[in-house]
Amino acid sequence: MFHPQPDIIVELARLTRDGDTFPLSVYYERHQDAMEFHRHDFVELVLILSGEGVHTDGVREISLRRGDICVIPRGVTHRYLRVAEDFSLINILFIPEALPISRLDAVLLPGFKPLLTGCLQDGGRGYLSFRVDEEQFRFLETLALALAEEHETYAPGNNLVSLGIFMALAGRLARCYSAEQHIAGFDYGSISKIIAYLNKNYHEDISIAKLCRIGGMSKSSLMRNFKNAAGISPLQYLLRLRLEEAAFLLRSTKKTLGEIAVTTGFNDVNYLSRQFKRAQGLPPALYRKKYNTQGG
């Protein structure tokens, strides 16, 4: 079995516009050539529009044609080979945790997590690939082309419009993947109520007992159904919400870290600092210095 060494490590920052830290980039490859093995520090969503080619991670080869979808996780070494002259595709490159997804009901789509990470449902290594029928694909193609056009336009509001199109595309793809894989569902109604409550009240003191009352279920049912929906526990989801809000406030306001801790429900500044550094790889002060647009 051949295990290739990566020839290129691609960073999203090298593929985005100068000075733009928006964690989403799109490229319409009207003719995708064969390429060397490479890997990257972002997730890559690929829609094959025409022609035929082969994609490999050095372990398996998959023949691709119109209607095929691939999601390649971070760190997976891969390449294209034996591509036809009319082999075209759209590459959507993104950093999942930097997109405002947690507060949406995306977690109620069983296929959303694997789609947004490229990781297989069974936790196996490699990348995700599947097909959709032509009717579905035409709709997905329209969204993807609109996203690529928006990325190439350089007009005011690009990030806002791009994010909206991407969310619509990702949601529809998650539905397609869920149906294609026959992924088992869960108690949508109760978990939806709990997620809506957490999204709105994340800054308050919240206990598992209270969430059980809101969902009308036992602790074991809550933990099982919530993990099936979101991929993490309720308290981990709550922590993620608080950290996302803290990051937003650090980027966009001049509030002190103490004020941000109170606003986001942490209250303890030291605990916020530790958790923030663990999640972002930077302490709050350095994160603010790097990303704040308000001179804070």
**Residue type, position 98, single letter:** A
Give the max Cα distance, the chain.
Answer: 60
The helices-and-strands tally (H runs, E runs) of the chain is 10, 10
Backbone torsion region of residue 167, taken as left when φ is above 0, otherwise alpha when ψ lies between -120 and 50, otherwise beta: alpha
Could you tell me if 17 and 164 lie in one domain? yes
Q: Is residue 38 within 8 Å of 7, Cβ to Cβ? A: yes
Q: Which of 142, 157, 181 is the last residue of a domain?
A: 181
- The whole-number pLDDT of residue 226 equals 84
Give per-10-residue mean pLDDT for the chain (296 aa).
40 47 87 88 92 88 93 87 94 83 62 67 61 93 94 86 91 80 58 85 93 92 81 87 90 92 93 92 89 62
Residues 31, 152: one domain?
yes
Domain-terminating residue out of 181, 212, 235: 181
CATH code of the domain covering residue 117: 2.60.120.280
Question: 194: domain CATH number?
Answer: 1.10.10.60
Number of domains in the chain: 2
27/172 same-domain check: yes
Tokens of 149: 């056009």
Do 84 and 215 fall into the same domain?
no
The whole-number pLDDT of residue 108 equals 63
54 SS3 class: strand
Range of the domain at 223: 188-291
SS3 assignment, position 261: helix
In the chain, the amino acid numbered 85 is E
Of 181, 211, 233, which one is at a domain's C-terminal end?
A: 181
Residue 69 belongs to some domain of the structure: yes
| Model pLDDT, residue 106 | 65
